[in-house]
Amino acid sequence: MKFDVLTLFPEMFEALNHSILKKAQEKNIIQINVTNIRDFAYNKHKKVDDYPYGGGAGMVMQPEPIYNAVDYIVEKYGYKPYTVIMSPRGKRFEQRDAKRLVEKEHILMICGHYEGIDERVLNIVDEEISIGDFVLTGGEIASMAIIDCISRLVPGVLQKQQSYEDESFYDGLLEYPQYTRPEEFRGMRVPEVLLSGHHENIRKWRKYQSLKITYERRPDLLKNKTLTKEEQEMLNDIIKQNMSLK
């Protein structure tokens, strides 16, 4: 999997050179290449922004340096990667989008800054993406979050496929509770079922807890989840238990 990033602040992406992503890059499982948009501002002062037509606060990134940078990427590889731009107007990114985008193999990410990007840049973009209904200073943090999320799905990045399949959102539910040693800590014990060694009972307990946590904290996720017969029976019991407590 390959990522190319166009940004005004390439130094921010040093954060991706640690932990799991560092190991994945060392093994050449993923590649993360960062290009400074300012290098493609062909003017005396490397200016990349200007005042917005029609007036308004702040500055807007000019289209020319971004187009020049994309042209450089296309010339470098001989093709145009699937291109996304970080934007509060974009579709909100979810785990299912990571599953979809990991199939692209090569993604070019454009990070905006200042008050926005000239609208004409969207003519060379395949998709606008947002990570939530809030405003960031630029697209760098958002793009790093997306790179991290997608990379975890690339075969070989994590040691076991189950490492991400059991995580929150992968199957549309929040993750079940996790415990480690010691068995008892300040009067709080690990649930007995997890100490039993009975794999089927552990599986059922985890599924039940996952459904319970999702129902109590993010019931909206259940609207898009197709439940198995076992899951529906568990959910019915959870609803019944919650009703009895009211």
Binding-site positions read 112, 131-136
Residue 82 CA neighbour count, 13 Å, CB half: 14
CA 232 and chain centroid, separation: 29
Residues contacting 147, CB < 8 A, separation 6+: 3, 5, 16, 21, 32, 109
Question: Cβ–Cβ contacts within 10 Å for residue 39, how many?
Answer: 14
* Residue 21: Cβ-neighbour burial (10 angstroms; 0-12, 13-18, 19+): buried
Give the helix, strand, coil percentages of the chain, each rounded to 5. 45, 15, 40
Phi, psi of 92 (to 5 degrees): -70, 125
Give, to the nearest 10 degrees, the angle between helix 140-151 and helix 19-26.
Answer: 70
Torsion of CA 121, 127, 132, 135, to 10 degrees: 0
Which residues are annotated as part of the binding site for S-adenosyl-L-methionine?
A: 112, 131-136
Which structure tokens are listed for 196? 């039993």
- Cα–Cα nearest to 36, from 46, 45, 26: 46
